[in-house]
Structure 1
Amino acid sequence: MKRLGRGAVEPTALADHLTAHGLVLEMLAGPLPGIYDPTGPGKLLFAFFAAMAETERENIRESTLEGLDTAARKGKHGGRPPVITDDMLHTVLRRRANGESVERIQPDLIIPTGKRKGHNPSVASVYRALAEHAKREAYPEAVERAHADFAARQVGEVPGPRPAVPDRASL
């Protein structure tokens, strides 16, 4: 039920579909193990369990989001640390400016910390770091605003509304 209970409608529709094709459902565990009767009280009970599973899923989701928000306010962010350091990125940018390809630069890069310390980053990681760098360079005002908002939250202030910024295409 937990896997099926993403929405109360899904397991009920699935049960109806299976019984319409001559298959019998049997609950193996739980408060009412046994054959599922698609008529009368059996259908009502099945719908109730499906709704409870959906409610439980929503509660878990909300708790997870609250925990992530609390951690973010404390300055803790999940996920692995970036593989490509600023020094590595500067090396890649300098060598790319000299005409070298990422595939040629990648074997010379060494991950300094973490689980893969001493190994080379993947080519995809290098390209991802280059794309993130390009985004930061293209929209420096957005990066500055994000840093300002983060600093304001650290001291307990709530960032105010931002003025509308004209689209780059219209300039």
Structure 2
Amino acid sequence: MYDPSVPGRWLFALFAAMAETERENIRESTLEGLDTAARKGKHGGRLSVITDDMFHTVLRRRAAGESVEQIQPDLIIPTGKRKGHSPSGAGIYRALAEHAKREAYPEAVEAAHADFAALTIGEVPEPRTGTEAQMPR
């Protein structure tokens, strides 16, 4: 309960500072854990159901003028919980968008691979300068 007297305000400020400190500690621990996992090659999130073979099929058929809606029913997920089903249209569009981003900024992809290789052997990559730092993410 909040007490508007001077000792009550002081106690409220003390508890607020303690809560903020605890929140910051939790945040730092979480970021440390994510960094450690990334160094080990572990990344969060679901695995993509679009395999390389599926994606090449999508690219080939899109180049022939077919829509994602026409291609989707012919693709079959080979493993996992949805084995035997078709991937979602959103999954296909997401894979196409990631591919377009990689194609648009190949130097950024190469730089990211170089940075990751440096991190895996324990080196700290140098900060990017100039136009490299201004690339969209």
- Shorter-chain TM-score tier: 0.7 to 0.9
1:165 CA displacement: 5.0
Name the residue aligned to 2:74: 108
Trace 1:21-170 onto structure 2 (pairs within 5 A): 26=1, 36-162=2-128, 164=130
Distance change in 2, residues 1:40/1:143 (3 Å): same
Distance 2:128 2:14 in 1: 46
Residue identity in the other structure for 2:54: M
TM-score normalised to structure 1 length: 0.68
- Identical aligned pairs, as a percentage? 82
Q: Deviations over 1:57-115 (max 9, x none)?
A: 11100100011111111111121112222111111111111111111211222222333
Distance change in 2, residues 1:161/1:42 (3 Å): closer
Distance change in 2, residues 1:120/1:145 (3 Å): same
Higher CA-based Rg: 1
Q: Which runs of 5+ in 1 are unaligned?
A: 1-25, 27-35, 167-171
Distance 2:37 2:126 in 1: 22
Distance change in 2, residues 1:50/1:117 (3 Å): farther
TM-score normalised to structure 2 length: 0.83
Name the residue aligned to 1:30: none
Number of residue-to-residue matches in the alignment = 132
Distance 2:3 2:131 in 1: 61
Name the residue aligned to 1:20: none
Distance change in 2, residues 1:61/1:162 (3 Å): closer
Distance change in 2, residues 1:40/1:163 (3 Å): closer
Residue identity in the other structure for 2:108: A
Q: Which runs of 5+ in 2 are unaligned?
A: 133-137
Other structure's SS at 1:84 match:
coil
Name the residue aligned to 1:4: none
